Every structure is written in C-alpha cells, then in structure tokens.
Amino acid sequence: MRVISMELQKALEEYEKYFGERYFFYIGFQKTDEEIISEIQKCISTGKKQRPPKYEDDLIY
C-alpha cells in the first residue's frame, strides 16, 4: 500500500477543486510523488485535464 505525502495530498486536492474531479492514479504504474505533483501543476497551469489512460486490447491488466 502506498503512503501519500502531505505535498501530494495537497496537489490532489487542488486538482479536484480546480477540475471538479479526482486525478486518476494508474494501477501498477510507478511514479514518484514529485512527478505526480509536477503533472498536476502542469494541468492546473495550462487548464488542461489529465489525459485519459490508454489501454491496449492485446494486454492483460
């Protein structure tokens, strides 16, 4: 189970407040808190939501 830092929790709350929906975590995808926070900040600064995940038909998830 992943423990979320206070900084990441704050960024997730800011994303949800700005866009009215939660930031999507990819199951099994490893990113650092800093990478996720940076992505959230970019989304907010550009006004663009996170891109939806792409799923490949030939892979088992």
pLDDT in tens, 11-35: 999 999 999 999 987 655 678 899 9
- Mean pLDDT, the chain, rounded, equals 87
The CA distance from 14 to 21, in Å, is: 10
Total number of domains in the chain: 1
Q: Domain residues for 21? A: 1-61
Q: Is 8 within 8 Å of 36 (Cβ atoms)? A: yes
The CA distance from 38 to 26, in Å, is: 16
Tokens 């929906």 found at? 21
